[in-house]
Chains A and B, each alone.
Chain A
Amino acid sequence: MQFYRAELVSDLNIPVDTTVKLESLRESVVPPCLMLMPFIEVPDEIVVEGQEALDEDGVHGCVYSLRAAAAYDGEVVVGFRDMQTEKITHQKVIHITASSRKGWGERWSTSGSPG
């Protein structure tokens, strides 16, 4: 399964009916960023199938499993909210393309994962 780090990518290409892992942004656990909750905003065509916490101490973050349920060309947003103030503290917009074109997945997968 392809693995991407949100802080390193600005474009994601996912063949329809394929699942990829996307690591959220990462923030060090130091004041004032002590109680942050990662979030992701996706359109209906992209399904968040799971969310796993990072094993590591020292950083906030998680890994999402994303599946493209239908063709789509647009954006997803990842970031953090402060759990006490509910305010967004960090965010990044990632362009996402979900395509059902035959052969697209093979071409895409050989382009390598930044992670």
Chain B
Amino acid sequence: MNRKAAEPIDALVSQLADYYAQGTLASDEAAADLPPVVDHRASQSPVKNQGTRGTCVAHAAMGLIEAFPHIPGDLSEQYTHYKFNEFLHWPHNLNQGLMTTKAAPYLARADGRISLEAEWPYIPVQATIDQMVEMGTYGPPPAARNNQIYGISSYKIITDQGLTGESIKNTRYLESLLHLGYSIVIGTWVSWDDKDNDGVLDPVLDPNGNPIGRGGHAMLVVGYNRPEEYLMIKNSWAPSWGHDGYAYFHYDLVRSCFKYGFVADQVVPGDGEPVRTCWCKRLLDSIRQFFGCGGPGT
């Protein structure tokens, strides 16, 4: 596991190690004291719509940060995706997506902070962005540039370790994190029959048990229902999709299609910290970053 100052996550979740160490296929008798249902949907920001762009990672990551009670519920996915492309040295208008787990370290960078949605609203159509690039008008407005505030300061990457232990495919591990109050950004293969999106989605697999669909998608896991064996997942395909914008993923879909994910222990600014940074702090952060001394996220 890659970690970044995430010991509190490990310290907390390790208390439930007896539960998740047995793996996702263990019998339910060892269900520890976890409640049968955990549902964090009430504390989520509204479901958004990524339109026709491949910005699911930006949406899932912003959903994670917005779920912290002291963070405003509408951060700029537009700026987030723009920064992802910038960090990868890709053209700003490239509709290329991002490996989900790269979002955590990017949003932990001192120069990876994001503004409010109102300061750079989301543009749902790629052609609009391409046109703006051609005209030389594409980029963060001054209000967004001057208010780069929100990010992640502590996170943990969860990899695919199979069906037991600290693995993205181990539903018991995911249940443990959700029970402790974490939401989980995940990357998954899209291999389900979407006409069933208002029910519980099952995987579509080949004869060897591998997902048929090979497109990757990022979403935010916000709850589970163990008796009915599904996770509740916030998507970014508008509230009209699924269960008011949420998916119910059967545990078999998790076991066969989840690739990786991450959780955030702390975000920036921390609870109680002043929301607005003054120009001198931003300057200081830039100087620190320039000289490699590290900013708040390093």
Contacts and interface: CB of A to CB of B under 8 A. Distances in A.
A58 B54 contact: yes
Contact of B98 (A28, A36, A53, A58): A58
Contact of B55 (A34, A58, A84): A58
Contact of A26 (B95, B191, B212, B214): B95
A29 B51 contact: no
B65 to A, nearest CB: 18
Interface string B95-109: 111111000000000
Contacts of B187: 57
Contacts of A35: 190-191, 204, 212-213, 215
B52 interface: yes
A57 B57 contact: yes
Interface string A18-53: 000000001011111111110000000000000001
Most buried by A among B54, B126, B193: B54
Nearest to A36: B215
Contacts of A83: 212-213
Interface in B46-100: 50-57, 95-100
Contact of A84 (B99, B193, B215): B193
Contact of A37 (B53, B55, B95, B214): B214
B95 A29 contact: no
A87 B53 CA distance: 22
Size class of B's contact patch? 20 to 34
Nearest to B238: A31
Interface in B199-222: 204, 212-218
B95 A57 contact: no
B194 A31 contact: yes
A55 interface: yes
B191 A58 contact: no
Nearest to A32: B194
A113 to B, nearest CB: 14
Interface in A47-85: 53-60, 83-84
Nearest to B197: A31
Given A28-B52, A34-B194, A35-B204, A57 B96 contact: no
Contact of B56 (A26, A53, A57, A60): A57
B216 A30 contact: no
B52 A30 contact: yes
Interface string B137-177: 00000000000000000000000000000000000000000
B213 A58 contact: no
Nearest to B55: A58
Most buried by B among A28, A31, A33: A28
B95 A59 contact: yes
A57 B52 contact: no
A56 B56 CA distance: 11
B139 to A, nearest CB: 21
Nearest to B190: A34
Contacts of A34: 190, 192, 194, 213, 215
A60 B198 CA distance: 24
A58 B216 contact: yes
A98 to B, nearest CB: 28
Contacts of B52: 28, 30
A58 B237 CA distance: 12
A83 B237 CA distance: 20
B122 interface: no
Contacts of B259: 57
A64 to B, nearest CB: 14
A37 B190 CA distance: 12
A38 to B, nearest CB: 9
7 contacts: A26-B54, A26-B95, A30-B51, A53-B214, A57-B217, A58-B55, A60-B215
3 smallest CB-CB distances across A and B, nearest first, come from A58-B97, A58-B54, A57-B216
